[in-house]
Chain A
């Protein structure tokens, strides 16, 4: 059951991630990104991380995607047509990302810990919103406060950047 879900959502995630890269139309890129993030959230659910999965859907598939689509509409981007492909740069980039994939696969396939099976949990249903909340507000309280300041700084920075004239 979990096995089937893993393979389906991994296949869909990789497919839509390739579509993000391959499509010429920016709106199709953004919508493929939504689908890839939804499949990733489903993978989080298969890992018993329901809270992280829901945050992923809310923040990425919701807020970030609305932002991306809004900017695409604002800039009025058209489908790229007739672009020249610089073949040496293209194959260089393909080689780099292929080398990265090979490197990760080689390390994962050779390491002992990657053969670890899914360990059973002590309880049938984990209350992970409470547990993550406890971790955030006790052990990691200082980073939690700092992240609030970071979000404020980002908000002020965005407002400053998007004014008509930057002095």
Chain B
């Protein structure tokens, strides 16, 4: 029998894996992928809460519109972030975060 806890634990696992990627990896693109995993873990718990707290026998569509907004903002963030990574690569010829630790160069 599925409970809300199952989905929340799956979401927590996904979030922790994303956090591990952000903390452990040195490649800035993989750090960015870890960020995406964390955003999606938050989306999973939102959709789970929407389904497990029905309003008049229907899932909470306000929560699902919130997920829609999160996905839109995440897509814009990916576009801007990747453009910044390309600009950094042009300036530094590297995507390792160890080489990109100065604010001004």
Contacts and interface: CB of A to CB of B under 8 A. Distances in A.
Interface of A: 2-3, 6, 10, 13-14, 17-18, 20-21, 26, 29-30, 33, 36-37, 40, 43-44, 47-49, 51-52, 55-56, 59-60, 63-64, 67-68, 71-72, 74-75, 77, 80, 83, 90, 92-94, 96-98, 100-101, 104-105, 108-109, 111, 113-123, 126, 128, 131-132, 134-136, 139-140, 143, 147, 150-151, 154-155, 157-158, 161-162, 166
A118 B65 contact: no
Contacts of A113: 4
B94 to A, nearest CB: 10
B68 A52 contact: yes
Interface size range of chain B in the complex: 35 or more
B101 to A, nearest CB: 13
Interface of B: 1-21, 23-27, 29-30, 33-34, 36-37, 40, 43-44, 47-48, 50-52, 54, 56-59, 61-62, 64-65, 67-69, 71-80, 82-87, 89, 95
B51 to A, nearest CB: 4
Interface of A is mostly: helix
Contacts of A71: 29, 82, 85-86
Given A13-B14, A132-B64, A121 B58 contact: yes
A94 B16 CA distance: 10
A161 B87 contact: yes
A136 B59 contact: no
Contacts of B10: 10, 13-14, 43
B87 A166 contact: yes
Given A21-B21, A147-B73, A151-B72, A104 B14 contact: no
Q: Which 7 A-B pairs have the closest CB atoms?
A: A122-B57, A104-B12, A114-B5, A93-B23, A97-B20, A101-B16, A154-B76
A104 B8 contact: yes
A128 B64 CA distance: 9
Given A14-B17, A26-B29, A108-B12, A157 B83 contact: yes
